C-alpha cells in the first residue's frame, strides 16, 4: 500500500508542482546534447586512434 501511495503522490507532484519546458526548448536542447555527444565521441576516437598509432610505432621501433 505504501508503494502505490508513493507512486500516486509522485505523479500528482509531477503534474502540479513541476515546471515543464516548452516543446521547442526540449527539441533545441536535445539537438545541442546530440551534437556535443557526437563531437566528444569523435574527439575520444581521434585521441584513442592517435595513441594506438604511437604505441604501434614504439613497439615497431623496439622490435628492430
Does any domain span residue 26? yes
pLDDT digits (tens, 9 = 90+) for 11-55: 999 999 989 899 999 999 999 999 999 999 999 999 999 999 999
DSSP string, the chain: -HHHHHHHHHHHHHHHT--PPPHHHHHHHHHHHHHHHHHHHHHHHHHHHHHHHHHHHHHHHHH-
Q: How many domains does the chain have?
A: 1
Q: What is the total residue count of the chain? A: 64
pTM score: 0.66
Does any domain span residue 8? no
Does any domain span residue 38? yes
Distance CA 54, CA 48 (A): 10
Does any domain span residue 2? no
The three grid cell numbers given for residue 63, joined into one nine-digit string = 622490435
Does any domain span residue 16? no
Does any domain span residue 40? yes
Domain that holds residue 37: 21-64
Amino acid at each position: 500500500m505504501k508503494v502505490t501511495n508513493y507512486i500516486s503522490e509522485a505523479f500528482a507532484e509531477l503534474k502540479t508542482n513541476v515546471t515543464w519546458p516548452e516543446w521547442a526548448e526540449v527539441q533545441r536542447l536535445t539537438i545541442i546534447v546530440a551534437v556535443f555527444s557526437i563531437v566528444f565521441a569523435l574527439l575520444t576516437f581521434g585521441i584513442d586512434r592517435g595513441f594506438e598509432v604511437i604505441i604501434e610505432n614504439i613497439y615497431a621501433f623496439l622490435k628492430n
